[in-house]
Amino acid sequence: MKKKVLIVEDYADTRSFMKVLVESYGYQAIEAVNGEKAVEAVQKQLPDLVLMDLAMPVMDGLAATRVIRKFEGMAKLPIIAVTAHGQSYYRQAIEAGCDDLINKPFDFATLEPVLNQYLGC
């Protein structure tokens, strides 16, 4: 069974690009358009890893990560912050409960090693 990666991104074109990349690595991609939908998806679909955009409407990625971390069994779920704001958000992301941070824009060579590291592949 393929491992599931939840892509949380408010921009449809970026989300589609990320989905193509994730699926090209052999993972199943599921999607959420904001932090609130991400919280719902984590509870219903039980992903193996979350790629969490930080700046989104409705609920941002930092708030969503804090909520997800409170769920039973989600303390070890890898949540990777994704941001165009660079390393300036690294500390905030880690404090919110993210495991790592990837800067946008990223490419095939950047994303694959991070997914493999956290998914044990």
Identify the pLDDT of residue 27: 95
The structure tokens listed for 114 are 């991070």
Q: What is the pLDDT of residue 121?
A: 66
Supply the pLDDT for residue 1. 75
Domain count, the chain: 1
Q: Between the CA of residue 84 and those of 3, 51, 62, 102, 119, what are the distances in Å?
A: 26, 13, 14, 9, 24
**Structure confidence at residue 89 (pLDDT):** 78
Distance (Å, whole) CA 48 – CA 106: 21
pLDDT in tens, the chain (121 residues): 799 999 999 999 989 999 999 999 999 999 999 999 999 999 999 999 999 999 888 999 999 999 999 998 888 899 999 988 777 778 888 999 999 998 887 777 888 899 999 998 6
What is the residue type of 77? L
Q: Output phi, psi for 90, to 5 deg.
A: -55, -50
* Containing structural domain, residue 71: 4-119
**Euclidean distance between CA atoms 29 and 17, whole angstroms:** 11
CATH number at residue 39: 3.40.50.2300
Strands 28-32 and 4-8: parallel
